[in-house]
Amino acid sequence: MSPFPEQAPSKLAAPGLGIGTSRWAYQVRALRFQYHPLNRGADNWVIDGLTCDVDAGEILGIVGPNGSGKTSLLKLLAKVLRPQVGDMALFGRDLGMMPQVEVARTVAFVPQESPQVFSFTVMETVLMGRYPHHRGAKWSAGFGWESAEDVLIAEEAMQSTDLTDLAGRSVMDLSGGERQRCMIARALAQAPQVLLLDEPTAFLDIQHQIEICTIVRRLKEERGLTVVLVSHDLNLASQYCDRILMLKAGKLFRLGSPHEVIDADVLRAVYGCDVLIDCHPESGVPRVTMPSYISTKHDRDRL
């Protein structure tokens, strides 16, 4: 029996094309995952019985303490890791049954850091995103040069990430923000419907953080992209995400709008510390502030 009865996949849909009609980008059911399944006896599930849906066209932020399984969940969604238990559907199709290359035509994954050891140009790097769309004769499958269409799509991806001027530069000479944009452009070149970002703003200064977040919002609005991003920054999640998924020790703690999730009680239960929460002066979404040294000292003295 299908775990997704309301979303029986159409048998007539052409592979890789008949996607996009589903209300949900992802449906995740009772997902369990651990890194060393052969380590018997050890009950170290990184993701432990997670059930959630990701709406098509939303920006979902995954937050939680260190080691709560955020990145693992993202990699499971990208099918870079395989779960031991549970089901996942991508636009109504069983993710476990989809060939990796078909997943890659729908889902683009940007890891937290990518090694930059060789002096590929920005253009070459972005063009690598066209790999899953390449269909060549068998004997030249590994070699085929990109078509004019590929170049066009790559140029478009670079345009939406403001990289056009840097096309000929070596990725090794880029700054942190430019590098992150380059990786996002590489992901966009995949022409995906879902974009998975792991800590897209880590190690970036405030200007580049805003820049990346603005690009992500714009992509959602212009292309109708579904974005799932992992972040440590609760304020960023609150400000830029439609919904937030709070993980605690591999389990879903709360999923909902920023108002529902960024809450003093929730944060105390998950992170084990008190924070101040007020409203963002412009948008009114919740804003998290660290308690001042004086107030924590005051608490300590009182105890």
∠ at Cα 181 (180, 183), nearest 5°? 65
Binding of residue 75 to another protein (CB under 8 A):
yes
For the segment 202-241, give every residue that binds another protein (CB under 8 A).
Answer: none
Binding of residue 90 to another protein (CB under 8 A):
no
Q: Distance between terminal CA atoms of the chain?
A: 56
Min dist CB 137 to another protein, Å, is 11
Binding of residue 131 to another protein (CB under 8 A):
yes
Binding of residue 97 to another protein (CB under 8 A):
no
Binding of residue 140 to another protein (CB under 8 A):
yes
Q: Which two tokens stand for residue 93?
A: 């199709």
Binding of residue 15 to another protein (CB under 8 A):
no
> Judged by CB under 8 A, which stretch of 60-68, 102-110, 227-235, 287-295 contacts another protein?
102-110
Residues 6+ apart with CB under 8 A from 243: 55, 58, 59, 60, 61, 255, 256, 257, 258, 261
Binding of residue 117 to another protein (CB under 8 A):
yes
CB 133 within 8 A of CB 191: yes
Binding of residue 179 to another protein (CB under 8 A):
no
Given the complex with another protein, which of 33 and 246 has the nearer CB atom? 33
∠ at Cα 19 (17, 21), nearest 5°? 135
What H or E segment, with its residue span, contains residue 108?
strand 107-110
Q: Following CA atoms 187, 191, 194, 198 in sequence, which dihedral angle do they give, to the nearest 10 degrees?
A: 0
> Which positions lie near another protein, rule CB under 8 A?
75, 78-80, 99-105, 107-111, 114-115, 117-121, 124-125, 128-129, 131-132, 134, 139-145, 172, 186, 190, 196
